[in-house]
Chain A
Amino acid sequence: MRAEARSGTLLSAPYVLFLLAFAAYPVAFALALVLMHWDLVTTPSFAGLDNVKLLATDTRFWQAVGNTFVFLGLHLPLQIVTALALAVALNRPMMFRAFWRAAFFLPVVISGAVVAILWNALYATDVGLINALLVKAGIAPVPWLTDPRVAMAAIAVMVTWKNVGFYVIIYLAGLQYIPRSCQEAIELDGATAWQRFRHLTLPLLLPQTILVLTLSTINGFQLFIEPYVMTGGGPLRRTFSVVLYMYTNAFSYQKMGYAATIGVALAMIIGTVVAIQRKVVGTAEAL
């Protein structure tokens, strides 16, 4: 028994060390930094609640929070609808199905910075492919990344495209679990294709939808690379996300204590939003 306990400790040690070094320590460090002033160079000094007080009244921070919610408001519905639609489409028998599935998954494994640069080219106002197609269709070109009204929407579309393959896989797994006989039963019960989706497929995919919602919410709150590479937070700070603001404070202004405070606040916001989602969707599950 003691030998077993010893080998157990030994086997779990690498992971525990990894967790301590790369999860527990940074979290503890960030929590400590909330109470510090630190410019990365000199010795940190105790700041009391200065950082927290500043955060409460920092309009730029709250604007970034608002921007991030705008992003989520556009991104979450778009992400769920596209992932679900693609999964249902890719679940049907078709030619080269494996190819199509791989094709939609590919952007997931490409670096976010690379995708951002690629979409920068697509979105370019004068020479971008998207505007070229619009012009060809007789529609006026849209300044995708320079118009404050559309820039965040353009980023939301791009992020949705990049991540859709991952969520498609989650939905495809869920679709495998819908019993074939249930699909046949509802067909005999008189359902059209849309009614089959509405009354059987969609409700039975609720667990997957909850998972997709939670994961894309957490992921969406951490929006950073896309505005950093494509817009720098502009135009008119409309795409300035919370993480971008945190990054700017940390590495442009060298206010590590304040950046850590933003990080901790973001974690609390994410936790609250996901808890609210669980509460709402959880009641839907009981229906």
Chain B
Amino acid sequence: MSTCDRDDGVSRRKVLECMTWVGTGVLWTISGGVPHALGIIDEAVAQQAQPLTFVQISDSHVGFDKAANPNALGTLQEAIAKVGALPKKPAFMIHTGDISHLSLPSQFDDADRIIGQSRLDVHYVPGEHDFLDPDLKFYRERYGRGTMGAGWYSFDANGVHFIGLVNVVNLKAGGLGNLGNDQLEWLENDVKGRSASTPIVVFAHIPLWTVYPDWGWGTDDGAQALSYLKRFGSVTVLNGHIHQVMQKVEGNLTFHTARSTAFPQPAPGTAPSPGPMKVPDDKLRGMLGIANVTFKQNEQRLAIIDTPLQG
């Protein structure tokens, strides 16, 4: 079941560790990779007493009502209930895009109403489904305040530098996800001058690494973006889009994709297309869920726990 075993784009890069396709949630840690750099991080953050915990949700596709899940709003509600039931209240939430299914105002309204029940600050990046209105304006009007371009930005929390990127606009024929030169230039400047000991978290909708190009699961200029981050001791890349958990560690870069709250998609190459996957009703909630991320700074590691809605 592991894509690491597959002869596809993943193998183009050196994979140091790969654990993929998790069935029921897993505790995932970064403890190897760059021990020296991690040591530096530990010194840098030793004075920060409080660990940082935040939660990621993704691909809520509010408005989706097809066979794979006739009630995507209902499962979003369940996901937000999961967030509310976490033993430690997260500092904030990130949403890695495809908030809506068709970029309709009513879909954004419904999403905001449900997600707002978490009473958390939410940092969004858009998915391609959030830019389907003719004027490409609804996402930016609602979520783009204070952001650059189509909605990219950065912020700091507990000594961690967070970077939200947009790789779903100006897509090119035959291509994958796209960041574009303006955003790449902004990113290079955004991290310039920051200490290499600063932990970096990048979040974007489409995976920044090539998961499965035949299905468009990758970002054409993602490697360029990651090249600006290679000098940092700890870089965590959080994505959505593929509606399943997939994880990879490559040197100091760690990649993770979150489940959708709406519907599952097939593992790469296991179906004729990446379209919504209909599973038996009693299996659906085991394939939807949230991700809870903690920087356990004094323990020199970062942990991501994927929790399905059920099971």
Question: Do these two chains interact?
Answer: no
Which residue numbers of B lie inside 8 Å of A, CB to CB?
none
Which residue numbers of A lie inside 8 Å of B, CB to CB?
none
